[in-house]
Structure 1
Amino acid sequence: MDNEKFKLSIKKWAEDDRPREKLLQKGKLTLSDSELIAILIGSGSRSETAVELSKRILSSAKNNLNELGKLSVSQLCNFKGIGPAKAIAIVAALELGRRRRLEEALIQQKITSSNSVFEMMQPVIGELSHEEFWILYLNNSNKVIEQFQISKGGITGTLVDVRITLKKALEVGAVSIILVHNHPSGNLKASEADKQLTRKLKIAAESLDIKVLDHIIVTEKSYLSFADEGML
């Protein structure tokens, strides 16, 4: 048989090289991303092992799990060796990872820095293809009373109603607020509209003894803080 065409199944690999056995014997941290995905899909095809197939899928997503998480079931099924069941397993596992990150952020709801806002909101809006504007309402201990989506827009912008924003603050008894919105383009530069809205909300909030602590622009991988940049 042609060695170039012959591929050993995972069951015939040395025990050290099998992802499941490796996880059991050496722990989950020793496995690469492709080995973890190989465990999810279980098997490859006649021409490649599960790990090789996983490496090919990861490579198409720039070896980035966030990018992989954006692929749909139908897109994953375009890979030879991946059927609906395997595609669903990958999508479900990555969605669980996203939700875990979100829950970890929500457990620590006290805002201590701009980064803590990013960690809280990135799983919510960081990977969206449209823009959303959220308000974090805080008590006097800087703990989040409520997260509220004030508006949802298109790719390039969204509208924010100052009256609704502050009415909600009074309803929940907030003493301060943080403005958060995403830039689907990945651009971290604040637009003139972003700056004008921040000034407008800050002036209106001050008349009610409510402080605007920050305005955070979130992208998939990073953020811009008005407070950190001295823009408030």
Structure 2
Amino acid sequence: MEYSKKTLSIKSWAEDDRPREKLLLKGKASLSDAELIAILIGSGSRNETAVDLAKKILNSIENNLNRLGKLSVSELQKFKGIGEAKAISIITALELGRRRRLEEALEVPKIKSSKTVFNLMQPIIGELQHEEFWIVFLNNSNKVLLKYQMSKGGLTGTLVDVRLVFKKAIELYATAIILCHNHPSGKLQPSNADKMITNKLKQAGETLDVKVLDHIIITENAYFSFADESLI
């Protein structure tokens, strides 16, 4: 008499089909969501493997791991073969995954180029209808210590207090700064006022040993870098 995998325990499967062994042999990326959940579950029921049970759970929430992470202990226990301990294991694993994603999102970025600055600041000021002037404060590894709005102006411009810029730099022990502001008009060319404030901040930074690395003008879809254009 032949038996399907569904009526056999995972231990009786071919080695490549066992989730734990598969992870050891081929790495974690080789496992499906169902196989990963099966490892958490450990065992299924008398007539169902842990993998089949995991597939059933995933099918119920349209294979959406975000929805799985929102299920309660009691909702998971509605599946035959899932007791309180197994439900808690699933919820715990998904919560750890959620916290890991959060930490990755908050990870301190490292500035490697003007494009990095644009990607960092465009979501903040790129689509505004008024002008804002921001400073990105960096440590000696060019990692961002703080993104700070120095001033907010109207359609025609904004003012920057040099003393406040370097007061903040000293408080943060920053070794470098990058100047950023947006042009609501969409024009990328720096104005005379842009060039003047850049030189003023650069000179002040030299006195305090805080380097002004760049000044980035940002619009909705593009940017202008003083450093790239050898203007700083």
Distance 1:221 1:134, change over 3 A: same
1:143 and 2:143 aligned: yes
Map of 1:116 onto structure 2: 116
Aligned to 1:129: 129
State the shift of 1:104 in Å: 8.2
Q: Matches of 2:104 and 2:186 in 1, distance apart?
A: 24
AA matched with 1:129: Q
Aligned-partner Cα distance in 2 for 1:107–1:153: 30
Q: Secondary structure in 1 aligned to 2:214? A: strand
Does residue 203 of structure 1 match 2:227?
Answer: no
Gaps of 5+ in 2: 1-61, 63-102
Give me the whole-angstrom Cα distance separating, in 2, the residues matched to 1:197 and 1:106. 31
**For 1:155 and 1:220, how far apart are their aligned partners in 2?**
15
- Cα 1:220–1:142 change in 2 (3 A) is same
Confirm or deny: 8 A CA contact 1:177 1:212 kept in the other structure: yes
- Name the CA distance, whole Å, in 2 between partners of 1:194 and 1:182: 11
Shift of 1:156: 1.4
- CA-to-aligned-CA distance 1:201-224 (integer Å, 9 cap, x gap): 000111000100000000000000
Following TM superposition, by how much is the alpha carbon of 1:109 offset from its aligned partner in structure 2, in angstroms?
1.0
Q: Deviations over 1:141-175 (max 9, x none)?
A: 00000111000000110000000000000000000
Counterparts in 2 of 1:120 and 1:224: CA distance versus 1, 3 Å: same
**1:35-50 matched pairs, under 5 angstroms:** none
Residues 86-109 of structure 1: CA distance to partner in whole angstroms, max 9, x if unpaired?
xxxxxxxxxxxxxxxxx9886461
Q: How does 1:14-93 map to 2 (within 5 A)?
A: none
Q: How many residues matched?
A: 132
User: CA deviation digits over 1:165-203, x for unaligned, max 9?
Assistant: 000000000000000000000000000000000000000
Q: Distance in 2 between matches of 1:221 and 1:108?
A: 24
> Residue 111 of structure 2 aligns to a residue in which SS?
coil
Aligned-partner Cα distance in 2 for 1:124–1:118: 10
- Percent sequence identity is 65
Match of 1:231 in 2: 231
Question: 2: distance between equivalents of 1:143 and 1:137?
Answer: 8
The answer to whether the Cα contact below 8 Å between 2:134 and 2:149 also exists between their aligned partners in 1 is yes
1:105–1:120 contact (8 Å) kept in structure 2: no
Partners of 1:119 and 1:212 lie apart in 2 by 19
Q: Distance in 1 between matches of 2:147 and 2:213?
A: 15
TM-score (norm 1): 0.55
- Which amino acid is the alignment partner of residue 226 of structure 2? F
Whether contact under 8 Å (1:106, 1:120) holds in the other structure is no
**Aligned residue number for residue 179 of structure 1:** 179
Amino acid in the other structure paired with 1:222: A
